[in-house]
């Protein structure tokens, strides 16, 4: 009830939820209460979560925040959300996001932009929690009461994207944790912009079944949470092998929480020189150096490394991701799902439905994707990008083979920017550059975590990223815990 009334009070200003499932939340919470009073219950019994609108939830609004999926309520539950409910979690509602997870600011949503709860450290909506000590308030820790404070007017920063609703809701205490997805940075960049923790696990760690597909070889689900411990608890529940997703991997899911206390003494942390990009703001440099110092103080060994193909990751991503998206989005034809705009024949119906149903950014991706997959261009673009992807993956393999345990980088090239930022709006490539530090991880299928590490000159949160070996998420929780 506390969370539901916090949502009712603040969602008008934040627009983090596109659907609040009051009745379902109360029914699930009552069932949890009954279990807990008998001394039973799962690892997440009674924990209220928000769910990104990309996850199929049975009988509940699932539209990937697109007009083309108007009215769609699936008859199935995604494996990740089913895992969470099986462990006792409670669904508060569906969270806003960029349309089909395409974007870095949550501004491509059919439901309008999400506002970042942060204006500055002095003017944060809902809670004045200092970002660097998020660990005090997680649902696993002490003092986990929901704070409801005055909502400020005139809030105008983006929360990042595409999981902007998830990040904003967690940051503003409108849920205890949230599901999110990351194809090129969509968990880690919004986490960094909102002072929350977000982990993209190794490709294959979570089942993609029942999640609306964007770019199937890159998409992964993961949690956004208030602190590293909460993220560890949530990921353990979300992860599973699933015969309905043949890319999910049959490996035991470790007790990630248990990794948190372990020392990082003697671990090798790589600092990739290619991430020192031209024009990196001084405060991002300083933050990175601070992170390096923290790791060294905790007993880790810092080593300079090289990932020579880094500069090709962004351009290759914007070939691979749109190519897969153009194929995945072919199914929205007005016949099977959501919106239908009638035409004089079936071809005109398809055309009118897709013209009306998809937003500008989604259309841009479909056009790029169709182009790079077409005869004559396939070899020059798509095949080439796949080869580049292999080289990017090999860069990481070489570094890990040389003994590096994890790689430390900034999570984003800047703090949150303004809603309707003129620079970004006029040039999609500027928007795409938000992901320069995060897309490499998706291209290589590796796990990456974003953890709050400090504030910029205006008091806005900044995050650092740790990148790990395949299926070694434990290392990320352990190292991120040193930074938070």
Q: Which is nearer to ligand GLN, 350 or 437 (CB)?
A: 437
Secondary structure percentages of the chain, helix, strand, coil, to 5: 40, 15, 45
Q: What's the CA gap between 421 and 33, in Å, rounded? A: 46
Q: Which is nearer to ligand GLN, 77 or 182 (CB)?
A: 182
Q: Which is nearer to ligand GLN, 102 or 228 (CB)?
A: 102
Give the up-direction half-sphere exposure of residue 301: CA atoms within 13 A in the CB hemisphere.
8
The distance of closest approach from Cβ of residue 425 to ligand GLN in the complex, given in angstroms and rounded to an integer, is 14
Q: Which is nearer to ligand GLN, 146 or 373 (CB)?
A: 373
> And the tokens for 421?
């930022």
Q: Which is nearer to ligand GLN, 10 or 439 (CB)?
A: 439
The distance of closest approach from Cβ of residue 102 to ligand GLN in the complex, given in angstroms and rounded to an integer, is 5
Q: Which is nearer to ligand GLN, 184 or 357 (CB)?
A: 184
**CA neighbor of 159 nearest in space, from 137, 192, 129:** 192
Q: What's the CA gap between 125 and 150, in Å, rounded? A: 7
Would you say 32 and 13 are in contact if contact means Cβ atoms under 8 Å apart? no
With tokens 């997680």, the residue in question is 138
Q: What are the Cα distances from residue 470, in Å, to 112, 237, 400?
A: 36, 19, 10
The distance of closest approach from Cβ of residue 481 to ligand GLN in the complex, given in angstroms and rounded to an integer, is 24
Cβ neighbours of residue 270 closer than 8 Å, sequence gap 6 or more: 303, 304, 305, 399, 404, 406, 407, 408
Q: Which is nearer to ligand GLN, 214 or 256 (CB)?
A: 214
Residues in a beta bridge with 223: 179
The distance of closest approach from Cβ of residue 283 to ligand GLN in the complex, given in angstroms and rounded to an integer, is 22
Q: What's the CA gap between 295 and 407, in Å, rounded? A: 11
Cβ-proximal residue to ligand GLN, closest one? 186
Q: Which residues bind ligand GLN (CB under 6 A)?
A: 101-104, 162, 182-186, 214, 321, 435
The distance of closest approach from Cβ of residue 302 to ligand GLN in the complex, given in angstroms and rounded to an integer, is 29
Q: What's the CA gap between 54 and 34, in Å, rounded? A: 30
The distance of closest approach from Cβ of residue 437 to ligand GLN in the complex, given in angstroms and rounded to an integer, is 12
The distance of closest approach from Cβ of residue 141 to ligand GLN in the complex, given in angstroms and rounded to an integer, is 29
Would you say 182 and 226 are in contact if contact means Cβ atoms under 8 Å apart? no
Cβ neighbours of residue 289 closer than 8 Å, sequence gap 6 or more: none
- List active site positions: 52, 162, 186
The distance of closest approach from Cβ of residue 103 to ligand GLN in the complex, given in angstroms and rounded to an integer, is 5
Would you say 91 and 358 are in contact if contact means Cβ atoms under 8 Å apart? no
Q: What's the CA gap between 77 and 430, in Å, rounded? A: 36
The backbone torsions φ and ψ at residue 416, rounded to the nearest 5 degrees and listed phi first, read -55, 140
161-197 residues labelled b (16+ CB within 10 A) or e (exposed): bbbbbbbbbbbbbbbbbbbbbbbbbbbbbbbbbbbbb
Q: What's the CA gap between 198 and 203, in Å, rounded? A: 15
Q: Which is nearer to ligand GLN, 52 or 478 (CB)?
A: 52
Q: Which is nearer to ligand GLN, 182 or 242 (CB)?
A: 182
The distance of closest approach from Cβ of residue 124 to ligand GLN in the complex, given in angstroms and rounded to an integer, is 25
Beta strands in 214-300 (DSSP E): 220-225, 268-272
Length of the chain: 484
């Amino acid at each position: 009830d506390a969370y539901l009334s916090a949502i009712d009070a603040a969602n008008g200003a934040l627009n983090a939820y596109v659907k609040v499932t009051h009745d379902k939340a109360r029914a699930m919470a009552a069932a949890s209460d009954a279990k807990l009073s008998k001394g039973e219950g799962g690892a997440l019994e009674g924990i209220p979560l928000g769910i990104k609108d990309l996850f199929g939830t049975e009988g509940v609004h699932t539209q990937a925040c697109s007009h083309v999926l108007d009215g769609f309520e699936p008859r199935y539950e995604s494996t990740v959300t089913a895992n969470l409910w099986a462990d006792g979690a409670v669904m508060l509602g569906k969270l806003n996001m960029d349309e089909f997870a395409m974007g870095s600011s949550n501004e491509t949503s059919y439901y309008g932009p999400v506002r970042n709860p942060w204006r500055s450290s002095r003017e944060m909506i809902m809670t004045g929690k200092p970002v660097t000590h998020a660990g005090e308030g997680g649902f696993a820790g002490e003092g986990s009461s929901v704070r409801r404070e005055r909502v400020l007017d005139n809030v105008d920063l983006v929360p990042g994207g595409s999981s902007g609703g998830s990040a904003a809701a967690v940051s503003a205490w409108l849920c205890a944790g949230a599901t999110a997805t990351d194809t090129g940075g969509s968990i880690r960049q919004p986490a960094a912009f909102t002072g929350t923790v977000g982990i993209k696990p190794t490709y294959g760690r979570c089942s993609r079944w029942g999640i609306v597909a964007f770019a199937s070889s890159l998409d992964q689900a993961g949690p956004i949470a208030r602190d590293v411990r909460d993220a560890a608890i949530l990921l353990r529940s979300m992860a599973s092998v699933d015969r309905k997703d043949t890319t999910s991997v049959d490996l035991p899911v470790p007790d990630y929480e248990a990794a948190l206390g372990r020392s990082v003494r003697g671990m090798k942390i790589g600092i990739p020189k290619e991430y020192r990009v031209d024009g990196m703001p001084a405060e991002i440099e300083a933050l990175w150096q601070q992170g390096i110092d923290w790791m060294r103080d905790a007993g880790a060994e810092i080593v300079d490394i090289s990932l020579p193909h880094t500069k090709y990751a962004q351009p290759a991503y914007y070939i691979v991701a749109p190519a897969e998206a153009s194929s995945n989005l072919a199914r929205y034809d007005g016949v099977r799902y959501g919106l239908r705009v009638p035409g004089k024949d079936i071809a005109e119906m398809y055309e009118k439905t897709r013209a009306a149903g998809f937003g500008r950014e989604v259309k841009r991706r479909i056009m790029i994707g169709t182009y790079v997959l077409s005869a004559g261009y396939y070899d020059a673009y798509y095949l080439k990008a796949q080869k580049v992807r292999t080289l990017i993956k090999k860069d990481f393999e070489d570094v890990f083979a040389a003994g590096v345990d994890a790689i430390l980088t900034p999570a984003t090239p800047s703090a949150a920017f303004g809603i309707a930022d003129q620079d970004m709006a006029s040039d999609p490539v500027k928007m795409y550059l938000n992901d320069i530090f995060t897309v490499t991880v998706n291209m290589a299928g590796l796990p990456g975590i974003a953890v709050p590490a400090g504030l910029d000159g205006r008091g806005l949160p900044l995050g650092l990223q740790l990148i790990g070996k395949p299926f070694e998420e434990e290392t990320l929780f352990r190292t991120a815990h040193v930074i938070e």
